[in-house]
Amino acid sequence: MSGAGRRQDLSRFVFLVGRYVRPYRGSIALLLAGSVVVTVLAALGPFIMAPIFDLAFDRRRRIVTAKTRFFAFDGDRLRRTFVDTNSTRVTSVSLLRRLLALAGMRLVGVFSTDDGSGLRRLRRDDPLPMAIAQPKAR
């Protein structure tokens, strides 16, 4: 197989994988960042790493929190620990509209991205909707 054919196949593969992964890019970025942290911590010593992921939803404050804990063991002794916490606020469309108005902007629309190939009418079960805003006309 020629080099051009391999490049074309690889390009097509990356395109297809990207199309299905795009709606979950935030979660994937978090997992990749966690992998980098684990790699760096593992390079510090010959330890066995044990990652623990904990997701929590605070209904009162409307925040999803992802806490990642890594424990490094050397034999039966705990050598290192690392805790990383990331939070995402869950916002209603009406609240988003009001917040944008305070910033001098208007909400054009909120859409579902489906498979990443375009914008569609908002679905109630969309895990990662996309909002489009623009500055208010003066």
* pLDDT score, position 15: 83
Mean pLDDT confidence for 96-103 = 87
| Pairwise pLDDT comparison (110 vs 138), residue with the higher score | 110
What distance lies between CA 132 and its chain's CA centroid?
Answer: 19
Burial class of 72 by CB neighbour count within 10 A (0 to 12, 13 to 18, 19+) = buried
* pLDDT score, position 20: 75
* pLDDT score, position 114: 65
* pLDDT score, position 46: 56
Enumerate the domain spans of the chain: 1-90, 91-138
* pLDDT score, position 83: 77
* pLDDT score, position 95: 83
Residue 84 predicted with pLDDT over 70:
yes
How far apart, in whole angstroms, are the C-alpha atoms of residue 98 and residue 106? 9
Which residues partner with 80 through β-bridges? Answer: 72
3-state secondary structure 14-65: HHHHHHHHHHHHHHHHHHHHHHHHHHHHHHCCCCEEEEEEEEEEECCCCEEE
* pLDDT score, position 33: 82
What is the pTM assigned to this prediction? 0.38
The predicted-structure confidence for 8-64, as pLDDT tens digits, reads as follows 888 887 887 777 777 777 777 887 787 777 677 666 665 565 666 676 777 777 677
Residue 138 predicted with pLDDT over 70:
no
